[in-house]
């Protein structure tokens, strides 16, 4: 009880816990745990045989946080920025630090633009985006979709209907863009 000094008694004694739970108390001493103390200075510990790593070649101007003094010696090369989303991303990195909401909001906006651009671009390839296979939604039928969702008192049921809206957004937007472009072409031809 918090209204009096003593700590409430536990239902199980230490011996009972030790008997019930394999390994109970194996790491009992708080000082003898792997992440204690938090900072432990030991540069020789980690397998690094350099003080500063060699630099990985920069094959295109790598976007970076303006809070860095220079480009880190090693970095990922997964998806170089491209298209309109690339322009937005580069602008965001160049202009705003990580401390600014504008930085993250622009990057999130670029992600949305990227999805639409990529969906459109994929239509011109032999491997167009396919919302049915890419969402894995057919597993609803093979992996007890309905019964899994109806069982128990899951609170996430209320927002499940929003998921398809998020998925459909790029198609609706891409469709809209395509429609406007087509209308323009047709008008120009007529005009």
In the region spanning residues 74 to 93, those forming contacts with another protein, defined by CB under 8 A, are: 74-79, 81, 85, 89, 93
Exactly one of 5, 34, 60, 190 binds another protein (CB under 8 A); that residue is: 34
Written as six digits, the tokens of 73 are 């010696």
Nearer to another protein, 102 or 185 (CB): 102
Q: How many CA atoms lie within 13 A of 113 on its CB side?
A: 15
Exactly one of 126, 151, 188, 190 binds another protein (CB under 8 A); that residue is: 151
For residues 68 and 56, what is the distance between their CA atoms, to the nearest angstrom? Answer: 17
Closest C-alpha among 50, 62, 121 to residue 90:
62
Exactly one of 5, 15, 38, 124 binds another protein (CB under 8 A); that residue is: 38
Binding mask 152-171 for another protein (x = CB under 8 A): xxxxx-xxx-xx--xx-xx-
Binding mask 122-141 for another protein (x = CB under 8 A): x----x-xxx-xxxxxxxx-
Does 36 contact another protein by CB under 8 A?
yes
Does 94 contact another protein by CB under 8 A?
no
Does 8 contact another protein by CB under 8 A?
yes
Closest C-alpha among 90, 85, 87, 91 to residue 117:
85
Minimum distance, C-beta of residue 189 to another protein, in the bound complex (Å)? 33
Written as six digits, the tokens of 114 are 């990227």
Give the orientation angle of helix 101-122 with respect to helix 83-95, to 10 degrees: 170
Nearer to another protein, 13 or 186 (CB): 13
What is the DSSP secondary structure assignment for residue 146, as one 8-state letter?
Answer: H
For residues 156 and 7, what is the distance between their CA atoms, to the nearest angstrom? Answer: 37
Closest C-alpha among 71, 75, 103, 72 to residue 90:
103
Total interface residues for another protein by CB under 8 A? 108
Exactly one of 5, 39, 124, 126 binds another protein (CB under 8 A); that residue is: 39
């Amino acid at each position: 009880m918090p209204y009096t000094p003593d700590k409430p008694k536990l239902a199980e004694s230490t011996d009972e816990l030790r008997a019930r739970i394999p390994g109970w108390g194996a790491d009992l001493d708080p000082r003898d745990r792997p992440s204690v103390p938090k900072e432990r200075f030991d540069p020789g510990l980690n397998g690094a045989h350099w003080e500063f790593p060699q630099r990985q070649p920069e094959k295109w101007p790598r976007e970076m946080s303006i809070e860095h003094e220079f480009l880190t010696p090693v970095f990922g090369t997964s998806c170089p920025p491209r298209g309109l989303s690339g322009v937005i991303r580069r602008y965001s990195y160049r202009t705003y630090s990580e401390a600014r909401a504008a930085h993250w909001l622009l990057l999130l906006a670029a992600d949305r633009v990227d999805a639409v651009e990529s969906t459109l671009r994929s239509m011109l390839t032999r491997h167009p985006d396919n919302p049915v296979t890419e969402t894995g939604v057919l597993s609803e039928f093979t992996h007890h979709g309905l019964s899994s969702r109806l069982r128990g008192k899951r609170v996430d049921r209320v927002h499940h209907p929003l998921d398809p809206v998020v998925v459909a957004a790029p198609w609706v937007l891409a469709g809209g863009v395509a429609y406007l472009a087509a209308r323009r072409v047709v008008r120009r031809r007529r005009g």
